[in-house]
Amino acid sequence: TTGTLSDTLHMSDLEMADDGVYSLVVQNGWIMTRARSIQLGVVPPGTPVFRAAWASPGDVLDCVVHGQLAYLASHSEGLVIVNCSNPLNPVKMGDLSASGLAQRVHVSGTFAFVAAWDGGLDIFDVFDPSNIVLAGHAEKQGLARELDVDGALAYVGDSQGGLLVYDVSDTGQPL
């Protein structure tokens, strides 16, 4: 006889393991039986599902994603750029040391701004993520901890000096 196609999947032998991974056998909808064993993780809707990791040798305190690139503020490495175009296999593209311990990162255009604790504010040219260049630096006023950039102004939250505002219209000479 000729088989008929069905939209129904027939499941049998459902087994649950203690780790929340289920094993089941799925049979196709044809008259002939062909079973394939698969593993299926069942989670409630809206639950984040881990996909991959990129291990940094130092503490990562901040992460900003623009397009397919993740910009990380890493204590030991400074600014790190990771290509996430394949989210199952993130790949480090480049890094450059900061003038102090990198705390926060903000990306605007082809520049990455890093609050570098006792090193102040660093501005990196990230046009070529595999060849990061230090474009500018503002001397410390205290301990640069938080950071945001709006247009030509960089706002730095300083653990000792409060709010510091820098004119970064000329990234090579922040004022």
pTM for this entry:
0.74
Residue 12: both structure tokens together:
């049998």
b (16+ CB within 10 A) / e for 76-90:
ebbbbbbbbeeeeeb
Residue 4 has pLDDT above 50, yes or no: no
The pLDDT value recorded for residue 8 is 44
The pLDDT value recorded for residue 42 is 67
Write down the residue that tokens 């510091």 correspond to. 164
Q: How many CB atoms lie within 10 A of CB 156?
A: 28
How large is the average pLDDT for residues 52-61?
89
Beta bridge partner(s), residue 36: 26
Q: Cβ distance 168 to 153 under 8 Å?
A: yes
Q: Residue 30's pLDDT band (boundaries 50, 70, 90)?
A: very low
CA atoms within 13 A on the CB side of 163: 6
Q: What is the pLDDT of residues 118-128, one digit of tens each?
A: 999 999 999 99
The pLDDT value recorded for residue 160 is 87
Q: What 3-state DSSP class applies to 120?
A: coil
Percent of the residues in the chain that have a pLDDT greater than 90, as a whole number: 55
Q: What is the pLDDT of residues 64-91, one digit of tens each?
A: 999 999 999 998 899 999 999 998 999 9
Q: What is the pLDDT of residues 129-170, one digit of tens each?
A: 999 999 999 987 789 999 999 999 999 999 888 999 999 998
